Structure 1
Amino acid sequence: MVPVLRFILSLALVALAQLVQAAELDDSRLKSLETTEAGRDWEAVGRLDRQGEGFCTGALIAPDLVLTAAHCLFDRTTLQQIDPTTIEFLAGFRNGRASAYRAVKRAVVHPLYIYDGTLSAVRVRNDIALLQLQRPIRNTTVTPFETDARPRRGARVGVVSYAHDRSEAPSLQEVCAVMARQDGVLVMSCDVDFGASGAPVFSFEGDRPRIVSVVSAKARVEGKAVSLGAALAEELTLLEAELTGTHVGSRLPAGVSRVQVGEPRRDDMGAKFISRSR
Structure 2
Amino acid sequence: MRNWITALALALTPLSATAQDTGLKSLDTTDAGRAWMAVGRLDIKDGAGFCTGTLISPTQVLTAAHCLFDKITGQRIDLAEVEFLAAWRLGRASAYRAARRAVVHPDYEYSTEATASRLYNDIALIELWQPIRNTSVIPFETGDRPARGAEVGVVSYAQDRAEAPSLQEVCSVMTRTSNVLVLSCDVEFGSSGAPVFSFEGDRPRIVSVVAAKAEFNGQRVAVGTAVEDSLKLLQAELSAGRGFGVSSSQGGARRNIGARFIKP
Count of aligned residue pairs for this structure pair = 229
Q: In 1, distance between residues paired with 2:50 and 2:25?
A: 20
Corresponding residue to 1:261 among 241, 244, 252: 244
**Partner residue in 2 for 1:256:** none
SS at structure 2 position matched to 1:230? strand
Q: In 2, distance between residues paired with 1:120 and 1:236?
A: 21
Tell me the amino acid that sits aligned with residue 143 of structure 1. Answer: I
Instruction: Say whether the 8 Å CA contact 1:121–1:183 is kept in structure 2.
Output: no
Q: In 1, distance between residues paired with 2:27 and 2:132?
A: 21
Corresponding residue to 1:33 among 12, 27, 31: 27
Q: In 2, distance between residues paired with 1:208 and 1:105?
A: 29
Q: CA RMSD for the aligned pairs?
A: 1.8
**Is 1:200 matched up with 2:183?**
no
SS at structure 2 position matched to 1:241? helix
Structure 1 residues 76-128: Cα deviation after superposition (integer angstroms, max 9, x where no partner): 00011111221000000000000000001010000000112222221111000
Structure 1 residues 179-214: Cα deviation after superposition (integer angstroms, max 9, x where no partner): 001021100000000110000000000100000000
List alignment gaps of at least 5 residues for structure 1: 1-7, 15-28, 247-258, 263-278
Q: In 2, distance between residues paired with 1:36 and 1:116?
A: 38
Corresponding residue to 1:53 among 48, 64, 67: 48
Q: In 1, distance between residues paired with 2:170 and 2:114?
A: 26
Corresponding residue to 1:77 among 67, 72, 76: 72
**Is 1:107 matched up with 2:90?**
no
Runs of 4+ in 1 over 3 A off after TM superposition: none
Tell me the amino acid that sits aligned with residue 111 of structure 2. Answer: D
Identity %: 64
Corresponding residue to 1:244 among 235, 239, 242: 239
* 1:135 shift after superposition: 0.2
Corresponding residue to 1:95 among 85, 90, 93: 90
Q: In 2, distance between residues paired with 1:187 and 1:9?
A: 13
Tell me the amino acid that sits aligned with residue 30 of structure 1. Answer: L
> TM-score by structure 2 length?
0.83
Higher-strand-fraction structure: 2
> TM-score by structure 1 length?
0.79
Instruction: Say whether the 8 Å CA contact 2:2–2:116 is kept in structure 1.
Output: no
SS at structure 2 position matched to 1:171? strand
